[in-house]
Amino acid sequence: MLFDGVDGAAGEVFLLSRRVAMSQQSLIISGVPWFDDRGRTVNAHGGCIVEERGLYYLFGEYKTDEENRFAGFSCYSSPDLVYWTFRRIVLPQQKNGPTGPGRIGERVKVMRCPATGRYVMYMHADDLEYCDPYICYAVCDTIDGDYEFRGPLTFRSELIRRWDLGVFQDDDGAGYLLVHEGDIYRLAADYQSAEELVGEGIALGGEAPAVAKLGGRYWMLFSGKTSWDCNDNYCLSAPSMRGPWTYQGLFAPEGTMTCNSQTLYVLPVHTEHGEIAMYMGDRWSYPHQASAATYVWQRLSVNHGRLRLAEYLPVWSPVSGEAEPFEGRRIAVGFRSDRAGESVSVPFHGSRVALTGRADQWGSYARVGIRGIGPGGESAMAAGPIFVSWYAKSPDSGYRYVSPELPEDDCVLTVTVTGEVPQWTDKSGQRFGSVGSMVDVDEVIVAQ
């Protein structure tokens, strides 16, 4: 991308920063689909963010709306954590092997190795029944280039046959691999094998590990095991990565199911009021993960020696680090239905629109789309339609959908009930998911 002699990452920062400055609001809105520069949903789950040369690079699982299989790992970039540019599928499905056809690829994490300057990508590879796990890795010379799959990661020449993983790079450049149940491996200097087991079984029953260094201590976050459903996540702390690790309990209010999300990663974010730690969580949405699974990004803090996500901010500014409202004209809707095919349409004039409503255990999917209305009354699809979820394990009244920014025009937003009841079972046969197919729309907020 070029602009007046500025190219590469610097050019993208300039152009996107200009776009942000011209935009009405530049906000992180949790629990709704996000859209990239192509108008498609940002599809990067289970991943991480790497900051480099003024850009944030988001890596994640490139999900489908049809089935849980490995379709590749994606990479997006942003100057501000709000506007995302799709770079590429940095690691596609392989022809065969652990990440070949009929396999699963999850929990992708990337670190730049200080010793080699190369980027090393880690992932969980498995079969569709989650009975053949590997921790694998790939390498690349550039952060958003084509990663070369290298195969399973080893420790003392033995394969690491585990699943959920996280990574952490300490201040001295040492890299660590974190796996479910709380094992911690220190990586070799080139980050391409595990050299030492520095922690073992510190969180039995835990998965989705992530580490942050805050307040002079190390904090490790874990989720319980409830399949695609969320739960009250917890944390441990230690003076070093070698421990000793002390259980510190829940870091979000009990019963909120960690803001209806599963811990993923912790990112330092520079705001005008100083650096904050940003909790990154996935709000999974089985089976429609590509469009309906969303992200929960919130502020973490250490208060009186305890890690806290004390207040859920539905909308906040990454510039100030503070809560801000989504501004616009409000239109009361009051639509509530569980009948497949029933819909509500709301005409509006503006450039962006948000939906609010209640999500709970009786909720399900709707198809949400926007049509632009031409001068002669003809219409053309302006955004979507995509699946949007009204299911939440912990009841939540808030934003369900926020459209991409569109040319200001006369439009009609339509919400159509699918009638699906999203349910699934885990390997043990335990049932999870919704008990209904309800869609509940309170109001529409129109940004001019």
Q: What DSSP string runs through 228-271?
A: TS----EEEEESSTT---EEEEESS-TTSHHHH-EEEEEEEEEE
Quote the pTM value: 0.94
Coil vs helix vs strand at 189: coil
Q: Is the separation of the CB atoms in 283 and 230 below 8 Å?
A: yes
Residue 289: name the closest of 402, 365, 200 by CA.
365
pLDDT digits (tens, 9 = 90+) for 406-433: 999 999 999 999 999 999 988 888 999 9
For the chain, percent of residues with pLDDT exceeding 70: 94
Coil vs helix vs strand at 224: coil
Q: Among 14-23, 166-175, 245-254, 434-443, where is mean pLDDT lowest?
A: 14-23
Coil vs helix vs strand at 9: helix
pLDDT at 10 exceeding the cut of 70: no
Please tell me what DSSP assigns to residue 145: S
Rounded mean pLDDT, 195-201:
98
**Rounded to an integer, what distance in angstroms lies between the CA atom of residue 294 and that of residue 94?**
26
pLDDT at 120 exceeding the cut of 60: yes
What domains lie within the chain, and their CATH numbers?
A: 27-316 (2.115.10.20), 329-447 (2.60.120.260)
* CA dihedral of 312, 318, 319, 323, whole degrees rounded to 10: -20
pLDDT at 241 exceeding the cut of 60: yes
pLDDT digits (tens, 9 = 90+) for 30-44: 999 999 999 999 999
Task: Characterize 84-96 residue by residue with b for buried, 16 or more Cβ atoms within 10 angstroms of its Cβ, and e for exposed.
Answer: bbbbebbbbbbee
What pLDDT was estimated at residue 25? 64
